[in-house]
A = this chain, B = another copy of it.
Amino acid sequence: MTHRNPAITGLLAAGLIVPLLCLVASGVDAADWRDRDLDTAAELRDRALRGTRAFEHASSLVTQVGPRLAGSLGDRAAVAWALTYLRSLGFEQVEAQQVTVPRWERGEAIVEITAPWPQPLIGVAIGGSVGTDQRGIEAPVLRVQSLDELEALPRDRVAGNIVFIDERMAPSRDASTYGVAVRKRTQGPSIAASLGAVALVIRSVGTSEDRIAHTGALVYRIDAPRIPAVAISNPDADLLARQFADGQPVGLRLALTARELPPTVSANVIAELPGIERPDEIVLLGAHLDSWDLAQGAEDDAAGVAIVVEAARLISELPQRPARTIQVVLYANEEFGLSGANEYARAIEGSGRQVIVGLEADLGSGAPWAFHGSVADEARPALTIMHGVLEPIGIELLDTPAYGGADLQPLKRTGTPVLQIRHDATKYFDVHHTVNDTLDRVDPAGLDRHVAAYAAVAYLAAVKRGDFGRLPPPAPAVTAR
Contacts and interface: CB of A to CB of B under 8 A. Distances in A.
Given A63-B117, A66-B119, A119-B67, A439 B212 contact: no
A447 to B, nearest CB: 17
Given A210-B212, A211-B438, A239 B63 contact: yes
Contact of A117 (B65, B243, B439): B65
Given A235-B439, A440-B235, A63 B295 contact: no
A120 interface: yes
Nearest to A59: B242
Contact of A436 (B211, B295, B435, B439): B211
A238 interface: yes
Nearest to A236: B438
A296 interface: yes
Nearest to A435: B211
A277 interface: no
A66 to B, nearest CB: 4
A209 interface: yes
A102 B185 CA distance: 43
For A63, A119, A122, A435, the residue with the greatest tally of chain B CB atoms inside 10 Å of its CB is A63
A209 B117 contact: no
Contacts of A438: 211, 235, 238-239
A98 interface: no
Interface centre among A119, A209, A238, A295 (most CB of B within 10 A): A119
Given A63-B117, A66-B239, A212-B212, 14 more contacts: A63-B239, A63-B242, A63-B245, A66-B117, A67-B120, A119-B296, A210-B210, A210-B212, A211-B434, A235-B440, A238-B438, A238-B440, A239-B296, A239-B439
7 contacts: A59-B242, A63-B243, A66-B119, A210-B210, A211-B438, A235-B440, A239-B296
A64 interface: yes
A238 B211 CA distance: 20
Interface string A373-403: 0000000000000000000000000000000
A53 to B, nearest CB: 16
A436 to B, nearest CB: 5
Contacts of A211: 212, 295, 434-436, 438
Contacts of A434: 211
Contacts of A122: 435
Contacts of A245: 63
B63 A440 contact: no
A253 to B, nearest CB: 15
The 9 closest A-B pairs by CB, nearest first: A66-B119, A235-B438, A211-B435, A64-B117, A63-B242, A210-B210, A211-B436, A235-B440, A210-B436
